[in-house]
Amino acid sequence: MIPPGPGPHRSRPVACPWPFFGRQSAGIMPLIRRLKNRGLARLYTRFPILARRFTESYTPRTNRDVPWTPLKKPLSESRLALVTTAGVHHSDQPPFDMTDPDGDPTFRRLDADRPRADLTITHDYYDHTDADRDINVVFPLDRLRDLEKRGILGQAARWQYGFMGHIDGRHLETLIHVTAVEAAARLKEDGADLVLLTPG
């Protein structure tokens, strides 16, 4: 609102014609942040040298406590599950939260028996234009089916898992100690012998 000024109409407040600077700015800022992230993702795709400079300046979190677990049976007898951090989910599932700058540590359980057209991507931190055309770019379930038909892979698991890969700040501990643990337990219940992790 514009504060009333002097004159005969000073008792009538006037609505601010620029709501961007008013109370509505709180709702607009997440949209602006999303547009900025999408723009940067496309810029990094168009100019790989910028992406390289960004990744070179980034210090990833390391974990040296995870034991190596060798595969106990031939690949041709194994059940393989996909776990993707590319933001893949079914279109009727809640999308990943893109308004939180620290990301979304939750996951979506994906049914491999449903049509590929039911899959979509919610992720602002990489350019998924190609994956929107062919989901196998980041979620190669059809390629697993091909390997299965050729006898190279025993079986593609019925249930796959989708995460949103941009996780930071307070959500890192949630991902490591809560949601990743739950997903691993479900993979074990599903009878998966090994997992193929695909990034976005």
Task: Identify the band that residue 47 occupies on the pLDDT scale cut at 50, 70 and 90.
Answer: confident
Confidence check: pLDDT of 133 > 60: yes
Task: Identify the band that residue 43 occupies on the pLDDT scale cut at 50, 70 and 90.
Answer: confident
Task: Identify the band that residue 13 occupies on the pLDDT scale cut at 50, 70 and 90.
Answer: very low
- Return the pLDDT at 37: 72
Whether residue 65 contacts residue 102, with contact meaning beta carbons closer than 8 Å, is answered with: no
> 197 or 46, which is more confident?
197
- The Cα–Cα gap between 175 and 163 comes to 10
What is the residue type of 41? A
Strands 88-90 and 159-163: unpaired
Buried b (16+ CB within 10 A) or exposed e, 12-25: eeeeeeeeeeeeee
- Return the pLDDT at 4: 41
Confidence check: pLDDT of 127 > 50: yes
pTM of the model: 0.75
- The Cα–Cα gap between 12 and 29 comes to 29
- The Cα–Cα gap between 153 and 148 comes to 5
Whether residue 167 contacts residue 175, with contact meaning beta carbons closer than 8 Å, is answered with: yes
- The Cα–Cα gap between 164 and 97 comes to 9
* Per-residue pLDDT tens digits for 70-126: 899 999 999 999 999 999 999 999 999 988 989 999 999 999 999 999 999 999 888
Confidence check: pLDDT of 149 > 50: yes
